[in-house]
Chain A
Amino acid sequence: MELADLYRDVILDHNRSPRNFRRLQSPTNTAQGFNPLCGDKLTVYLVMDGDRVDDIAFEGSGCAISVASSSLMTEAVRGKTEAEARTLFERMHALLAGETGEAEALGKLAALGGVRQFPSRVKCASLAWHALIAALDGAQQPAKTE
């Protein structure tokens, strides 16, 4: 178990300068994610154009893993259809659960695969994704990783 597997360059880069880190003025969908264990809180904003994610952004505070995961997620999901976004969520879920064979289809997101060797950090990586699904579902309650 190496630290460098967790803090890969892509992750460090996205933590230092998170992409799409802002509040969207008129989102069509939004949801919060809250990890009570570490106090991480974030909000995911979506602008849906019919079935397609026209714009996506996030804000909040969190550890390097959760910020990088959110940032990478916004890049990966922008322009995708809702169904594609949900498939990505499933793939991420599988990756973090330690299922192999997903990495290929995930591109840059595969960098988050190192997290699975750090069980206490898996939820940091999945928080934004749970919030994304909650936003797509139009949920009223904050998404939790529990």
Chain B
Amino acid sequence: MKHRDAADFDVASVRQDFPALHQRIHGKPLVYLDSAASAQRPVAVLDAMDTYYRHDHANVHRGVHTLSQRATQAYEGAREKIRRYINARTTAEIIFTRGTTEAINLVAQSYARPRLQPGDEVLISLMEHHSNIVPWQMACEQTGATLRVAPIDQHGQLRMDAFKQLISDHTRLIAIGHISNALGTINPVAEIVAFAHEREIPVLIDGAQAMPHTRVDVSALGCDFYAFSGHKMFGPTGIGVLYGREALLDAMPPWQGGGEMILEVSFEKTTYAALPNKFEAGTPAIAEAVGLGATIDYLEKLGIEAIAGHEHDLLAYATQALSQIDGLEIVGQAESKASVVSFTLANAHPHDIGTIVDHEGVAIRTGHHCAMPVMNFFGVPATARASMALYNTRDDIDALVAALMKVRQVLS
């Protein structure tokens, strides 16, 4: 049965932009429901990278020759696109990293570590991805500071009352996910930033899951740091961004040393380059940055609001369809939620679910989703997770439901 999807969004034509979607897995058409782990790429991104490598590649910032200038323009052009897209004030505030993980580690080591003292606290939440937990644990271990963890409720929502109570004179930094990858919960980040700033506490937002789903305006949010990854938003792997307020980035020491990040080197003294280069030691991922720039163009062309509307429709449809399966429990039922559905199925371990639905062509994620504390909170070793992106359809959800029936049949 064919369904119509949200009217103002031409999903059929969007799907044509993604070559990887059009293949068979175990003889069945691929149904890709694992975009929260990593999304697929549109042709526009593949072409941008290919063109860059075929025609424009050289090292950046170093040569006077034409290719080096073209490469520099392409690389810096991508930075400007990102600046504009997230509404940062200047490109000095856009640091290219390998991804969200590296961006958070940069802040933990270069911002937090030199400032933290015994007795100081860093506040995170229970629903964080490991990459927004471990870097803070490391910085706390290195400095004698304490990591505080705000609790969540049974629906998978941050308990804001408890969160606010955990903020004290000792809180030096708050690091919070915009959207939870394991539960889909959208956190009230604007409220958190406002509350924290009244107390002059800086806030880092892990935006890995938010960029493909929502408009992110760092100036309107007012956050101090915002981290995201290219590959979750239909861009390349190996590239991501740390947005940081210029005043904060300026005051931070470089994290890694090497080429690109210096002004002048002698054995007596090295002076560092200005932002953003100060934090980009070594030859960067140039083609990946170019690809990320193309991703931004692609998202702007479709319009993130239209994308969000389409996904909202899919989430409602999937929640309804999955809830009807006997023994299926949705883990994470926040009121404000992105298109992620984590679930368990009675008598079927997520690992078995993953293998069996794969044989029906359906790709979902199974496991702890790099959020072991969330699994412990809900008392499950793992969940199965279907995550939907702009190219998914109601038919994809129907295929998932049919595949879950197959799980029943195989394991019964």
Contacts and interface: CB of A to CB of B under 8 A. Distances in A.
Interface of A: 1, 3, 6-7, 12, 15, 37-41, 61-65, 118, 120-121, 124
18 contacts: A1-B26, A3-B355, A6-B355, A12-B411, A37-B367, A38-B351, A38-B367, A38-B368, A39-B375, A39-B381, A40-B351, A61-B381, A62-B349, A63-B351, A64-B349, A64-B352, A118-B355, A121-B351
A15 B355 contact: no
Contacts of A15: 411
A3 B410 contact: yes
Contacts of B411: 7, 12, 15, 64
Given A12-B411, A15-B411, A39-B367, A3 B359 contact: yes
Contacts of B244: none
Nearest to B381: A39
A61 B359 CA distance: 24
A38 B351 CA distance: 7
A7 B410 CA distance: 8
The secondary structure that dominates the A interface is: mixed
Contact of B381 (A41, A121, A124): A41
Interface of B: 26, 349-352, 355-356, 359, 366-368, 372, 375, 381-382, 410-411
A63 B349 contact: yes
Pick from A63, A120, A124 the residue with the most CB of B within 10 Å: A63
Nearest to A67: B349
Contacts of A63: 349-352
Contacts of B410: 3, 7, 12
B46 to A, nearest CB: 27
B350 A38 contact: yes
Contacts of B349: 38, 61-64
B352 A65 contact: yes
Given A7-B411, A15-B411, A62-B349, A40 B381 contact: yes
A18 to B, nearest CB: 13
Nearest to A41: B381
Contacts of B26: 1
A19 to B, nearest CB: 18
A119 to B, nearest CB: 11
A120 B363 CA distance: 14
A121 B359 CA distance: 14
Given A62-B351, A65-B351, 18 more contacts: A1-B26, A3-B355, A3-B359, A7-B352, A12-B411, A38-B349, A38-B367, A38-B382, A39-B367, A39-B372, A39-B381, A41-B381, A63-B349, A63-B350, A64-B352, A65-B352, A118-B355, A121-B355
B356 A38 contact: no
A120 B367 CA distance: 12
Given A7-B411, A39-B381, A124 B351 contact: yes
A38 B355 contact: no
Contacts of B350: 38, 63
A15 B55 CA distance: 57
Nearest to A60: B381
Contacts of B381: 38-41, 61-62
B236 to A, nearest CB: 25
Nearest to B348: A64
A40 B367 CA distance: 9
A12 B411 CA distance: 7
Nearest to A38: B351
B382 A39 contact: yes
Contacts of A6: 355
Contacts of A39: 367-368, 372, 375, 381-382
Nearest to B354: A120
B39 to A, nearest CB: 21
Given A7-B410, A7-B411, A63-B351, A38 B366 contact: yes
Contacts of B367: 37-39
A98 B382 CA distance: 28
Nearest to A61: B381
A7 B349 CA distance: 13
A60 to B, nearest CB: 9
A30 B366 CA distance: 29
Contacts of A3: 355-356, 359, 410
B351 to A, nearest CB: 4
A118 B382 CA distance: 20
Counting from the closest, the 6 A-B pairs by CB-CB distance are: A39-B381, A63-B351, A63-B349, A39-B382, A38-B351, A64-B352
